[in-house]
C-alpha cells in the first residue's frame, strides 16, 4: 500500500467573515455644532436624496477617491464626524469604498495616535483599518490590489490596532469589536509583512495568546493567522521522504546496522516484532519466499499463492514488489528471473485473483477482489482502484483494506472529506490490523482538526452563535484530539506519522484543554514522542526531518505561549466573559426529514450525509456535559463527526452516518435498544 501524499492537497485558507457590529451608526455619540460646515456636510450625507445620488455614482472609483480624500483632509471636520461618515459610506459601497479608505491608512493611524483615550475614535479607526486593508490584500496569498498594497505600512497598522486592543475601555461591546477587528487584521494580512516573522514577535504573541481565549472564533482565526505567518518558511507539507527498504532490512537482519542503544530500548519495550521495520522485513521476505516457491513449480499454483500473499498486504506497505529480491544479509536488493511468464512480479496478482474465483469457495472471493485492487494500486490506476473498491464494499462493508485504499487515493487528490470518511469507517472495522489502523488514524486526526478549525473561522466574531454552529466544530476538534492520543499510545515507535500526530496533539491540547499550565508540563510526553520520532527518522531515512508547516507552527506556539499570555492574556479575557453559544429559536425547532434531506451539511458537502435529526432541546439539556454534547454528532459505529446523522427509529438514541453503519451496528445496538433483539434495525 503506497504512502499517502499531500502533494495535491487543496488549501482551505480564505478570508474570515467580517466583524458585524450590531449597532447602527450612532449620531448621539458625538457632539454636533449646528454652525459648523462639517455638520452641514454630515447632514447632507444623511439626506436620502443625497445618498441616492451617491449610490448612482458608487461605481465611480474616482468619485470615491475624492470623497474619501475630502473627508480625511478637512481640517475643520470633527474626527468623530469623519469616522461616522466613512463608516456609513463603507456600509453603502463595501469593497470599492474600502479600497479608497486603505489609501489613507496612515491618516487613520495618526488619528488613533492623536486620540489614544477616545473610545469612539479607536473603535472606528480599527474597524476601518481592518475592513479596508482586507479589501486590498484579500484572504489569499496574493494581494487583490498589489499597487495599493505596496503603499500600505502593514506593520504600522498592526501595531496601532494591537495598541487599541490593549486599552481597557469601559464599553464591553466596543472592546470586543476592537479586539475582533484587530485579530482579523493581524491574522489575515500578516503573511504580507516585508520582513521575516521573527522580526515581529509582538504580532506572533498576539495571535498565540488568542489560542487560549474561550472564544472559538478567536481561537480559529488566530491559529489560521499563525499558519499564514509561517507559509514562507514552510511553503507546504513535503512529500514523505522515500524509505529505503534495503536500509530497513539491514536494521533488522544485520547486527552492525541495528538500532542504537536508546532507540533499541524503546523498540524492545514496545515489542521488536511489532515495529514497522520488522513487519516490513517479514512481509517482504515472506512474499519473496512464496514467489520463489511458486516460480519453481512446473505448473504454477496461483490459487495457493494468492491465498498465501493476501494476508501480507495487511502487514506492511512493502509487502509486494515487482521483482526485487534480497541480496544477502547486507540488505541489498537485486532482480532475478524465477520462471514466471511475466517480468514484473506484481502481475501475478490478477492471475491469483482469477485462480481464486475459479477454484475457491464463496468466502474466498473477497481475496480475489483485494488482489485485483492491490494490482491497480501498484500500477497507479487510481480511478479503477476506487471504482472496484466501492463495488466490493457493497458485498464486504466491514473490510478495512477497502476503506484504506479509498482513503489513500482521496488524500493524495486533495479530497479531504472522502479521506476522512474512509479513514473513520476503516477504523471502525473489527478485523483491522495494526498497520491499517495506524495508517488511517493520522488522516482522521489531520482532516478532523483542519475541518474543526475551518468551522471555527466561520463563527460570528462577537460570539452570538447557536449550539448547532458551535458544538460540531468542537466535536471535530475533540474527535481529532482523541484519535491523536490513541495513536500516540499505541502506534509503533518507528511509525513515520508519529511526528505530525504529536504536533496535532500538542496544538489541539493547547486549544481544547482549559486547565493546561503555561509551562506545558502536561505535554512533556508528547514533546518526548516528537524527539523520538525525529531520532527514528534520522536513523531509518538517513536525513534530517523536514520542517512542515504544522511543525513550525507548533514550535512557535509552545515557545511563545508564556510570554504571549503575559503580554496579551488580559486582552482576550474580555471574550471569555461571553457565553460560548446562545440558544436560538432555530435550536428549539424540530426540522422535517424532507427539509433536512434538501439541506446540505454545515461543513461536509457530501452525499454520504443522508439526513439530520437534530434534537436541539436534547443538545441544550446535555450541553453542560461536553462529552455527551459531542456524542450527539458522532456516529455510533465508525465515529464520524457530522451534524447529519440518522437516528435509530426504535429508541431514538443511537445515531449513524448512513444505513451501512446502522446495519453493521445492529447486532451490538439491539442489546440496549428498546426494540429488542427480535426487531430489525430501523
**pLDDT tens digits for range 109-132:** 988 998 999 999 999 999 999 999
Ordered alpha helix ranges (H), 491-592: 498-512, 524-541, 549-576, 585-588
Highest mean pLDDT among 11-25, 350-364, 537-551, 597-611: 350-364
Q: Which helix (H) or strand (E) holds 646?
A: strand 646-647
Separation CA 505–CA 554 (nearest Å): 10
Q: Side-chain half-sphere of 142: how many Cα atoms within 13 Å?
A: 1
Residue 682 CA to residue 680 CA, distance in Å, equals: 6
Say whether both 69 and 169 belong to one domain: yes
Which one of 352, 379, 406 terminates a domain?
Answer: 379
Mean per-residue pLDDT, 411-427:
91
Question: What pLDDT score was predicted for residue 175?
Answer: 86
Tell me what the mean pLDDT of segment 329-333 comes to. Answer: 61
- Most trustworthy range by pLDDT among 257-261, 622-626, 630-634: 257-261
How many Å apart are CA 529 and CA 567, to the nearest integer? 30
Q: What is the pLDDT of residue 5?
A: 52
Question: Which stretch of 86-95, 171-180, 508-517 has the lowest confidence by average pLDDT?
Answer: 86-95
Give the best-scoring range by mean pLDDT among 35-44, 66-75, 392-401: 392-401
In a domain, 345, yes or no: yes
Query: Is the distance from CB of 547 to CB of 245 less than 8 angstroms?
Result: no
Nearest alpha carbon to residue 221 among 19, 9, 483, 518? 19
Q: What is the mean pLDDT of the chain?
A: 78
What cell does 35 get? 454652525
- Range with lowest mean pLDDT among 23-27, 307-311, 442-446: 23-27
Which contacts of 436-440 are long-range, i.e. CB under 8 A and separated by 24 or more positions?
Answer: 436/314, 436/400, 436/401, 436/404, 437/400, 437/490, 438/487, 438/490, 438/491, 438/492, 438/495, 438/497, 439/1, 439/317, 439/404, 439/497, 440/400, 440/403, 440/404, 440/407
**Residue 392 in this model has a pLDDT that exceeds 60:** yes
**Cβ-contact 361, 303 below 8 angstroms:** no
55 with 188, same domain: the answer is yes
- What is the phi/psi pair of residue 543, to 5°? -135, 160
Q: What domain count does the chain have?
A: 4
pLDDT band, residue 487 (cuts 50/70/90): very high
Based on the fold, state whether residues 494 and 535 are members of the same structural domain.
yes
Residue range 555-605, pLDDT digits in tens:
999 999 999 999 999 899 876 675 554 444 443 333 334 433 333 333 333
Residue 459's contacts (CB-CB under 8 Å, 6 or more residues apart) are 216, 217, 220, 465, 469, 470, 473
Let me know if residue 347 belongs to a domain: yes
pLDDT at 619 over 70: no
274 and 374 inside one domain: yes
Which contacts (CB < 8 Å, 24+ apart) does range 594-603 have?
596/644, 601/642, 601/643, 601/644, 602/455, 602/468, 602/469, 602/472, 602/643, 603/451, 603/454, 603/455, 603/472, 603/476, 603/643
Assess whether 515 and 625 both reside in one domain.
Answer: no
Which distant-in-sequence residues (6+ apart) come within 8 Å of 599 by Cβ? 591, 612
Supply the DSSP symbol for 610.
-
What are 39's three cell numbers? 455638520
Short-list 393, 421, 419, 405, CA closest to 641 = 421
Query: At 325, phi and psi to the nearest 5?
Result: -125, 155
Domain match, 503 and 373 both: no
Same-domain check for residues 460 and 513: yes
Under 8 Å between Cβ of 161 and 181: yes
CA angle 428, 433, 436 (to 5 degrees): 75
Q: Which 3 state secondary structure label does DSSP give 655?
A: strand
> Is the four-CA dihedral 225, 230, 236, 241 of positive or negative sign?
negative
Residue 326 has pLDDT above 50, yes or no: yes
- The 10s digit of each residue's pLDDT in 230-258 is 876 554 445 456 677 888 988 898 888 88
Output the 3-class SS for 503-522: HHHHHHHHHHCCCCCCCCHH
State which of 576, 611, 634 marks the end of a domain. Answer: 576
Let me know whether 519 and 454 are in one domain. yes
Q: Is residue 681 part of a domain?
A: no
Reduce the DSSP state of residue 641 to 3 states and report it.
Answer: strand
pLDDT of residue 331: 58
pLDDT band at residue 66 under the 50/70/90 scheme: low
Q: What distance in Å separates the CA atoms of residue 441 and residue 181, rounded to the nearest whole number?
A: 37
* Cell (9 digits) for 226: 499563525
Whole-angstrom CA distances from 424 to 150, 200, 428 are 46, 40, 6
What distances in angstroms separate CA 593 from CA 468, 647, 662, one per listed residue? 17, 11, 17
209 domain-assigned: no
Q: Give the pLDDT confidence score for residue 29 in this predicted structure.
A: 42
At residue 61 the predicted structure's pLDDT band, cuts being 50, 70 and 90, is very low
Cell numbers describing residue 80: 468623530
| CA–CA gap between residue 521 and residue 526 (Å, rounded) | 10
Domain final residue, candidates 548, 576, 604: 576
pLDDT in the model for residue 612: 28
More confident position, 536 or 658 = 536
Question: What local confidence, expressed as pLDDT, does residue 585 receive?
Answer: 41
Query: Does residue 490 have a pLDDT over 90?
Result: yes
Residue 675 domain flag: no
Distance CA(175)–CA(122), nearest Å, equals 10
Are 278 and 190 in a shared domain? Answer: no
How far apart, in whole angstroms, are the C-alpha atoms of residue 464 and residue 319?
Answer: 53
Q: Are residues 187 and 275 in the same domain?
A: no
Range of the domain at 455: 444-576
pLDDT of residue 264: 93
Which residues in 42-70 are b (16+ Cβ under 10 Å) and which e? beebeeeeeeeebeeeeeeeeebeebbee
pLDDT at 48 over 60: no
In Å, how far from its chain's centre is CA 5?
16
Tell me if 682 is assigned to some domain: no
For range 430-447, the mean pLDDT: 95
Domain for residue 677, yes or no?
A: no
> Which residue is associated with the grid cell 486599552?
167
Which one has a higher pLDDT value, 285 or 72? 285
For residues 342 and 155, the model is more confident at: 155
- CB-side exposure of 554: number of CA atoms within 13 Å? 21
CB atoms within 10 A of CB 145: 17
Question: For 270-288, what is the mean pLDDT?
Answer: 94
> Greater confidence, 437 or 670?
437
| Cell numbers linked to 570 | 488580559
When pLDDT is cut at 50, 70 and 90, the band that residue 356 belongs to is very high
Residue 539 and residue 258 in contact, taking contact as beta carbons nearer than 8 Å: no
Q: Which of 389-398, 513-522, 546-555, 588-597 has the lowest mean pLDDT?
A: 588-597
Give dist(CA 61, CA 67) in Å, integer.
10
| DSSP assignments along 321-372, one per residue | -SSEEE-STT--EEE---S-SSSSGGGHHHHHHHHHHHHS-GGGHHHHHHHH
Q: Does 516 lie in the same domain as 606?
A: no
Report d(CA 101, CA 96) in Å as an integer: 9
What pLDDT score does 463 carry? 61
Could you tell me if 572 and 600 lie in one domain?
no
Top-confidence residue, 64 or 334 = 334
- pLDDT for 586 equals 40
Q: Which three-class secondary structure string do you get for 179-195?
A: HHHHHHHHHHHHHHCCC
Q: Determine the pLDDT at residue 679.
A: 46
Q: Tell me what pLDDT residue 36 has.
A: 42
Query: First and final CA of the chain: distance in angstroms?
Result: 37
Q: Pick the range with the lowest mean pLDDT from 81-90, 199-208, 428-437, 501-510.
A: 81-90
Residue 630: its pLDDT value, please? 59
Is 545 within 8 Å of 498 (Cβ atoms)? no
169 in any annotated domain: yes
358-373 residue pLDDT tens? 998 888 999 999 999 9
Amino acid at each position: 500500500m503506497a504512502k499517502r501524499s499531500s502533494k495535491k492537497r487543496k488549501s482551505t485558507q480564505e478570508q474570515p467573515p467580517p466583524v458585524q457590529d450590531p449597532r447602527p451608526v450612532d449620531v448621539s455619540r458625538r457632539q454636533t455644532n449646528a454652525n459648523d460646515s462639517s455638520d452641514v456636510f454630515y447632514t447632507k450625507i444623511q439626506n436620502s436624496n443625497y445618498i441616492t445620488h451617491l449610490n448612482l455614482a458608487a461605481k465611480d472609483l474616482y468619485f470615491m477617491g475624492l470623497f474619501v480624500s475630502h473627508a480625511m483632509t478637512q481640517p475643520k471636520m470633527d474626527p468623530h464626524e469623519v469616522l461616522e461618515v466613512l463608516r456609513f459610506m463603507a456600509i453603502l459601497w463595501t469593497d470599492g469604498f474600502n479600497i479608497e479608505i486603505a489609501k489613507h491608512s496612515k491618516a487613520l493611524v495618526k488619528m488613533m495616535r492623536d486620540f489614544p483615550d477616545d473610545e469612539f475614535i479607536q473603535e472606528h479607526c480599527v474597524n476601518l483599518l481592518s475592513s479596508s486593508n482586507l479589501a486590498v490584500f484579500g484572504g489569499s496569498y496574493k494581494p487583490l490590489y498589489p499597487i495599493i498594497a505596496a503603499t500600505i505600512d502593514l506593520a504600522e497598522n498592526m501595531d496601532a490596532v494591537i495598541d487599541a486592543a490593549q486599552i481597557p475601555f469601559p464599553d464591553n461591546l466596543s472592546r470586543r469589536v476592537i479586539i475582533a477587528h484587530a485579530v482579523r487584521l493581524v491574522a489575515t494580512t500578516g503573511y504580507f509583512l516585508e520582513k521575516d516573522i521573527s522580526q515581529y514577535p509582538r504580532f506572533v504573541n498576539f495571535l498565540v495568546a488568542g489560542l487560549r481565549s474561550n472564544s472559538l472564533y478567536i481561537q480559529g482565526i488566530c491559529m489560521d493567522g499563525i499558519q499564514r505567518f509561517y507559509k514562507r518558511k514552510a511553503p507546504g507539507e513535503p512529500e514523505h521522504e522515500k524509505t529505503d527498504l534495503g536500509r530497513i532490512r539491514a536494521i533488522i537482519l544485520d547486527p552492525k546496522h541495528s538500532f542504537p542503544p536508546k532507540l533499541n530500548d524503546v523498540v524492545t519495550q514496545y515489542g521488536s516484532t511489532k515495529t514497522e521495520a520488522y513487519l516490513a522485513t517479514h512481509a517482504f521476505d515472506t512474499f519473496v519466499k512464496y514467489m520463489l516457491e511458486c516460480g519453481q513449480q512446473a505448473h504454477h499454483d496461483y490459487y495457493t499463492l494468492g491465498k498465501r500473499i493476501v494476508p501480507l498486504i495487511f502487514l506492511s506497505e512493502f509487502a509486494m514488489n515487482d521483482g526485487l529480491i534480497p541480496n544477502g544479509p547486507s540488505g541489498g536488493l537485486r532482480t532475478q528471473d524465477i520462471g514466471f511468464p511475466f517480468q514484473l512480479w506484481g502481475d501475478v496478482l490478477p492471475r491469483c485473483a482469477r485462480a481464486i474465483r475459479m477454484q475457491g469457495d464463496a468466502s474466498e472471493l473477497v481475496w480475489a477482489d483485494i488482489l485485483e485492487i492491490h494490482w491497480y494500486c501498484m500500477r497507479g490506476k487510481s480511478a479503477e482502484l476506487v471504482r472496484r473498491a466501492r463495488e466490493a464494499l457493497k458485498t464486504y462493508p466491514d473490510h478495512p483494506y477497502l476503506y484504506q485504499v479509498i482513503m489513500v487515493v482521496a488524500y493524495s487528490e486533495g479530497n479531504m472529506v472522502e479521506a476522512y470518511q474512509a479513514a473513520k469507517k476503516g477504523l471502525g472495522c473489527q478485523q483491522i490490523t495494526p498497520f491499517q489502523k495506524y495508517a488511517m488514524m493520522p488522516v482522521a486526526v489531520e482532516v478532523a482538526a483542519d475541518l474543526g478549525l475551518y468551522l471555527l473561522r466561520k463563527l460570528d466574531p462577537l460570539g452570538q452563535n447557536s449550539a448547532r454552529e458551535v458544538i460540531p466544530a468542537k466535536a471535530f476538534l475533540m474527535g481529532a484530539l482523541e484519535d491523536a492520543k490513541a495513536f500516540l499510545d499505541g502506534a509503533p515507535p518507528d511509525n513515520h506519522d508519529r511526528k505530525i500526530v504529536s504536533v496535532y496533539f500538542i496544538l489541539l491540547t493547547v486549544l481544547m484543554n482549559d486547565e493546561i499550565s503555561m509551562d506545558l508540563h502536561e505535554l512533556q510526553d508528547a514533546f518526548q514522542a516528537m524527539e523520538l520520532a525525529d531520532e527514528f527518522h534520522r536513523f531509518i531515512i538517513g536525513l534530517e526531518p523536514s520542517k512542515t508547516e504544522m511543525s513550525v507552527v507548533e514550535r512557535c506556539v509552545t515557545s511563545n505561549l508564556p510570554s504571549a499570555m503575559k503580554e496579551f492574556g488580559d486582552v482576550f479575557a474580555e471574550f471569555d466573559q461571553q457565553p460560548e453559544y446562545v440558544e436560538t429559536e432555530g435550536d428549539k425547532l424540530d426540522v422535517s426529514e424532507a427539509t433536512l434531506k434538501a439541506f446540505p451539511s454545515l461543513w461536509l458537502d457530501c452525499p454520504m450525509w443522508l439526513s439530520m435529526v437534530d434534537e436541539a432541546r436534547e443538545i441544550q439539556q446535555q450541553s453542560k456535559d461536553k462529552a455527551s454534547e459531542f456524542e450527539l454528532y458522532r456516529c455510533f459505529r465508525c465515529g464520524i463527526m457530522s451534524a447529519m446523522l440518522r437516528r435509530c427509529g426504535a429508541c431514538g438514541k443511537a445515531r449513524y452516518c448512513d444505513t451501512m453503519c446502522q446495519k453493521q451496528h445492529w447486532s451490538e445496538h439491539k442489546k440496549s435498544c428498546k426494540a429488542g433483539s427480535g426487531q430489525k434495525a430501523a
